[in-house]
Chain A
Amino acid sequence: MDQESELVERLRNGEPAAFDAVYDAFNGRLFTFLRRLSRRGDVAEDLLEETWLRLVKHAPRLDANTRLGPWLFTVARNLHVSYVRSRVLEDSVTGALAPFWPSGADRPSPFEATAGRELERRIERALASLPAASREVLLLIGVAGLDHSDAADVCGITPEALRQRLHRARTLLARALEADTRAGEPALGDTTS
């Protein structure tokens, strides 16, 4: 029995120490994923808490071969999808048809404001401006460190579809970074006056 299977077995038995080991290993990565995916700290915290509660609830029924990383990211990602759907419904009911996600390019989010370096701020802005599906795949692979196969499982798509989505996301990110760079350059009139 490998280390992860043993951890899963202990989780199934409800051992708090096993939960702590999983929590310590994944909490930071999960929060970073949810924080950048949702672009809101309060939402990310709520989704994170629900993700861990789901693990506790489903622990007795976990398969012995469950890989905890992909399992947790799948739950976190699905909770975010549900959250977005509920917000879209809420917005349509209230008639508030403003864009659901504010554009990070116009107004820096609190998260961007805390990013210390200019390059980090630019990447955060570019990432925040991408469609959720593109941001999600970049975060899973680039930030959370999942391999392509696991990321495809998390997104519920085939590895080939993931490869295409990643390629598209990468192109969009590069374009957004270029646009951000151009926007940051002084206008021609400023330099000649």
Chain B
Amino acid sequence: MTDPLLRLLRDLPPATLDSSRAERIRARCHAALARRPHRDRIWDSAADLWAPIAAGFGGIYLTAVLREALAAYGL
């Protein structure tokens, strides 16, 4: 970085986060990470179930339509 103004900025001391707050943030994130797999499994299962459920309803609907159509023609 050759720009003298940007170099001045780069040389500023970093802001210091209170160490207890830093650890609290880390702990909160670890807790969120630990909770995540369970929730993700639930969502994955729901996603896996969605297609068969939709296919089932579709099948029922088509069967009903077919029966109505046959009944209409007296078959």
Contacts and interface: CB of A to CB of B under 8 A. Distances in A.
Interface of A: 14-16, 19-20, 23, 27-29, 31-32, 35-36, 41, 44-45, 48-49, 52-53, 55-57, 59-60, 111, 115-116, 119-120, 123-124, 127, 138-139, 141-143, 145, 170, 173-174
A109 to B, nearest CB: 12
A159 to B, nearest CB: 17
Nearest to B18: A45
Given A29-B14, A35-B15, A48 B25 contact: yes
B15 A115 contact: no
Q: How big is chain B's contact interface, by range?
A: 20 to 34
Given A45-B21, A127-B9, A16 B30 contact: yes
A136 B63 CA distance: 62
B25 A52 contact: yes
Nearest to A42: B21
Interface of A is mostly: helix
B17 interface: yes
Given A14-B33, A56-B29, A173 B5 contact: yes
A14 B36 contact: yes
